[in-house]
Amino acid sequence: MITLENISKTYQTKDGTVEALKDVSLTIEKGDIFGIIGMSGAGKSTLVRCLNFLERPTSGTVTVDGKDLSQLSQKELRLERRGIGMIFQHFNLLMQKSVIDNICFPLKISGVNKQAAKKRAEELLEIVGLTQKANAYPIQLSGGQKQRVAIARALATNPKILLCDEATSALDPQTTKSILALLKEINERYGITIVIITHEMAVVREICNRVGIIGDGKLVEHGAVIDVFSHPKSDAARELVLRNTGENRELVETLETQNCVRIVFSENSSFEPVIANMVLKFGMPVNILKADTKNVSGIARGEMILGLPEDEKLADDMINYLKERNLAVEEVSGYVG
Amino acid sequence: MWDKAVIDMIIAGIGETLYMTLMSTFMGYVFGLPLGVALAVTDKSGIKPNIVVYKILDFVSNIIRSVPFLILLIVLIPFTRTIVGKSYGSTATIVPLVVAATPFIGRMIESSLKEVDSGVVEAAQSMGAGTFTIIFRVLLVEARTSILVGATIAIGTILGYSAMAGTVGGGGLGDIAIRYGYHRYQADIMIVTVLLLIVLVQIFQTIGMFISNKLDRRRR
């Protein structure tokens, strides 16, 4: 559906050349909800703008639905963009236009006549659940409602792809959940491929099936969400997975000083009382710093952070013990900041 | 001294002032609006950056704006004569007024358009909107309140300029104020004309703000 090959993007600024993206290659399949996650400034916003050529990559090719975007003329590119919807962190609605006119806007650009556009806009308002607000102006709406209007607008021209640039970052957790649920529904009902840019692991966990992690302009890791969540390989991935758990200050401090591991339980490892057995076997207590169950792509996963004994030999034995029981174990000391 | 002749003269003066101001503002927008759009669009942060076009328009606008209006009025006399046929009277005054107003209006349009949230422009681009669609359906629409506020400022400034044009026989209230108040020491007539100018500015200001508020959908 979308293929990126060796995408690089450099900017010239007063302070010299900035490399926003370095040699990123990625494939997004039809029907995916693909998360692109990274810290702010990692280059993820630039990356998503390369997907519809709002930003032209300095080198590399972007192929959408078999078309190499760099080969298209300006006019062809504009036509192609009608098949790629986009929503934004700050919604970017036309403030001087009513909700229904905002949704009609892309249709008018595409030359749809007024009546057909209005009819389509009404259908979309129904999908996003805002039929009552057709004649309201954006200023009268809450953040979540504005994003719903933006989603309706992005879907107006029946795109095959929906790009979401930090679409939930300006929303509260409750609203975020409802917007994500709407996106998931759209993906399932209409088979629209969704690309989600975010800095929140929770968003990726909630709805994405695949994820790419961007660190310092590079794609450091990508794959199924469940794999990356359970076995993060790169530092950037581990940091993101953990940062999400380490919201409280004390935990972060403990992680910095203690010998800690993070373990993830899969479905079949929850039967045996692993931790209790380990404590009995080694005769040394471990400190459970955090334990949680998380919904990863619809599957419940247990996550636990353990503080191990100071004794390195003993700690290593414990880690091996856990690994033998098929748990994903990784050390988390030292790099959470 | 407040005989019919003076009153008639003042009424005629109001008429001339309105004629000069409104015509010049209108013509100023005929030229200034495209200028402002071109400035906003070709600037490096615009939707169609073109450094050469921008620099030329920017330079010309600044030059005209740097010349004091009174000087411009005189410098432009030959030009005015070729266009209108004479260099005095209300109609002739419109020529330098338009020349002075165009870059001023252009700058105000430029700044109004640059206030439009770049995210909204980006959203339009993501939908496949071309340059002209963005100009006419996004920039000018989203900036309309700001543009109207600018227009009320412009009309006030042009009214002031038109009074200045009175010094070189431009007609209107300014002309009366200078001839009677300055040359003949008739302070009362001068005060009346000044008051009338103040009232006119107030009226334009009130109407302009009323319309722009009325059209602003960003108010609850």
Instruction: State pLDDT tens for residues A298-329.
Output: 677 777 888 888 888 888 888 888 888 878 78
Is the Cβ of A26 closer than 8 Å to some Cβ of chain B? Answer: no
Of B126, B133, B138, nearest to A81 by CB-CB distance is: B126
Nearest residue in chain B measured CA to CA from A104: B127
Instruction: For chain A, give the longest Cα–Cα distance.
Output: 77
Strands (E), A125-269: 161-165, 193-198, 210-215, 218-224, 260-265
The answer to whether the CB atoms of A137 and B125 lie below 8 A apart is no
Residues in A touching B218 (Cβ below 8 Å): 95-96, 137, 139
Residues in A touching B220 (Cβ below 8 Å): 139-140
Q: Residue A158: what pLDDT?
A: 93
Query: Given the DSSP bridges, would you call strands A328-331 and A193-198 parallel, antiparallel or unpaired?
Result: unpaired
How many Å apart are CA B34 and CA A200, to the nearest integer? 45
- pLDDT at residue A335 above 50? no
Nearest residue in chain B measured CA to CA from A98: B217
As for the ipTM of the complex, it is 0.87
Of A85, A109, A139, nearest to B133 by CB-CB distance is: A109
Nearest residue in chain A measured CA to CA from B212: A96
Max avg pLDDT among A106-110, A261-265, A333-337: A106-110
Residue written as token pair 């412009």: B154
Across the A:B interface, residue pairs with CB atoms under 8 Å apart total 82
Residues in A touching B215 (Cβ below 8 Å): 96
How many Å apart are CA B26 and CA B71, to the nearest integer? 23
Report how many helices (DSSP H) and strands (DSSP E) chain A contains, helices first: 12, 14
Q: Residue A25: what pLDDT?
A: 94
Mean residue pLDDT of chain A comes to 87
The answer to whether the CB atoms of A139 and B119 lie below 8 A apart is no
How many Å apart are CA A21 and CA A57, to the nearest integer? 9
Instruction: State pLDDT tens for residues A3-27.
Output: 999 999 998 888 888 889 999 999 9
- Give, in degrees to the nearest 5, the angle at Cα A90 between A87 and A91: 45
The answer to whether the CB atoms of B142 and A96 lie below 8 A apart is yes
Per-residue pLDDT of chain B (220 residues; tens, 9 = 90+): 678 888 999 999 999 999 999 999 999 999 999 999 999 999 999 999 999 999 999 999 999 999 999 899 889 999 999 999 888 888 999 999 999 999 999 999 999 999 999 999 999 999 999 999 999 999 999 999 999 999 999 999 999 999 888 777 788 898 888 888 888 888 888 899 989 999 999 999 999 999 999 989 887 5
Q: What is the distance in angstroms between the Cα of B38 and the nearest Cα belonging to chain A? A: 20
The answer to whether the CB atoms of B127 and A82 lie below 8 A apart is yes
Q: Which long-range contacts (CB under 8 A, 24 or more apart) does A167-173 make?
A: A167/A87, A167/A88, A167/A89, A167/A196, A167/A198, A168/A198, A168/A200, A168/A203, A169/A89, A169/A198, A169/A199, A169/A200, A170/A89, A170/A90, A170/A91, A170/A143, A171/A143, A171/A144, A171/A147, A172/A143
- pLDDT at residue A248 above 80? no
| Distance linking the first and last C-alpha atoms of chain B | 54
Q: Residue A250: what pLDDT?
A: 57
How many Å apart are CA A261 and CA A259, to the nearest integer? 7
Instruction: State pLDDT tens for residues A44-63.
Output: 889 999 999 999 999 999 99
Q: Residue A298: what pLDDT?
A: 67
The answer to whether the CB atoms of A105 and B137 lie below 8 A apart is yes
Q: Residue A246: what pLDDT?
A: 45
Average pLDDT over residues A148-158: 96
Q: Residue A253: what pLDDT?
A: 59
Q: Residue A11: what pLDDT?
A: 87
Q: Residue B1: what pLDDT?
A: 63
Instruction: State pLDDT tens for residues A81-104.
Output: 999 999 999 999 999 999 999 999
Nearest residue in chain B measured CA to CA from A155: B127
- pLDDT at residue A271 above 70? no
The pair of structure tokens assigned to B131 is 């340059």
> Residues B212, B145: contact at Cβ < 8 Å?
yes
Is the Cβ of A146 closer than 8 Å to some Cβ of chain B? Answer: no
